[in-house]
Chains A and B, each alone.
Chain A
Amino acid sequence: MPEAPYNHLALEVPSLPVNAELCRLTVAVFAAELPFTLGEIEQLKVAVAEAVGNCILHAYPGEPGRIALRARLADGAVVVDVEDWGRGIADVALARQPSYTTSTDPDHVGLGFAFMEQFTDALEVVSAPGRGTLVRMRKRPAHGQDAVGQQAGLSPRPEEGTGADGRPLRP
């Protein structure tokens, strides 16, 4: 069976609500190279939308700021980075708790990270107050060709400690 093609993308957009859709659709098309089911692609879209939505709502609550979207295919999985240089998160573990929210909007449910966790295979969040946040998600087709490679003990994950562009994660 041929190896999954190597591909990557990098995109920068301002934190406008319309760009949540742009990012999720971009990643959906990008990830369609892998043997994802339609349901898995829909899950990936929700996860990306939540990461970008956090940038829009929380990283840059006033003026729009920069959001970087990067994705790559590696070892039969898609790795997506969503990065901002906004407000940052003081306590990442607390922010990842379901229903935790800093918003005063009564309609805000605080489930963004919960959906990222639920709809991807791995989620990493690196953040510092005032310096921004990097969210990295990894998703692999559940019944794709790579399941064979996993059973054979071949490298199941992209190398640790690097972002979707292959560069090291920021401290």
Chain B
Amino acid sequence: MAASNFVRRGAGVPAEAPDGERPRADKGPQGTGDALQVTREARDQTLVVRVVGDLDIRTAATFRQQVDEWFLASDHRRLVLNLSRVTFLDSTGLGAVLGRVRRVRDAGRQMVIVPPGGVSRAVLDVAALGRAVPLYRSERAALDEEAQTHA
């Protein structure tokens, strides 16, 4: 069985957390719960966005919103989208990635991707992602401007 290691609690989260903190808007049956984590790290002109978990019909809108807010609405010139820890990718997730590629290009900025492995890579390859955007084997390679080690 190849389920990911993430414990998903999205569907069973109580309306009010025990410590009294307001429930996050993305919890609940329609939210992303813990299935997806998107984090960022700014490095000069480059913004690294790391995606961990499932990028799918349930979580794609959150991913899309975060990247657009963090990158397109910022002054960063280059986006390194690290998908190497994506555990599941469906066509909705793929569409969200391709949509970001298009929007970044339309904004006249640069974007590179560190792809996931396994079947998720095959999903990206069906859409010929490598022709639309440079793919790198690792985040390190993507960050090293001198390294031309395309995956």
A contact set with B: CB distance below 8 Å: 16-18, 20-22, 24-25, 28-29, 32, 38-39, 41-43, 45-46, 49-50, 53, 56-57, 105-112, 114-115, 118-119
Contact = CB atoms under 8 A, between A and B. Distances in A.
A115 B91 contact: yes
Contacts of B1: 28-29, 32, 41
Contacts of A29: 1, 3
A103 B74 CA distance: 29
Interface residues of B, number: 34
A42 B8 contact: no
Interface of B: 1-3, 8, 10-11, 29-30, 33, 35, 54, 56-58, 60, 64, 88-92, 94-96, 98-99, 102, 118-120, 122-123, 126-127
Given A49-B56, A111-B127, A18 B64 contact: no
Nearest to A105: B95
Nearest to B90: A49
Contacts of B30: 16-18
Contact of A21 (B2, B58, B99): B58
B119 to A, nearest CB: 4
A79 to B, nearest CB: 19
Contacts of A25: 3
Given A22-B11, A39-B119, A115-B123, 20 more contacts: A16-B29, A16-B30, A17-B30, A17-B58, A18-B30, A18-B58, A20-B58, A21-B88, A28-B1, A28-B3, A42-B88, A43-B122, A45-B2, A46-B88, A46-B123, A50-B90, A53-B91, A107-B96, A107-B99, A111-B127
30 contacts: A16-B29, A17-B58, A18-B29, A18-B33, A20-B56, A20-B57, A20-B90, A29-B1, A38-B2, A41-B2, A42-B88, A42-B118, A43-B119, A45-B2, A46-B88, A46-B119, A46-B123, A49-B90, A53-B92, A56-B57, A57-B92, A107-B60, A107-B95, A107-B99, A109-B98, A111-B94, A114-B91, A115-B126, A118-B122, A118-B126
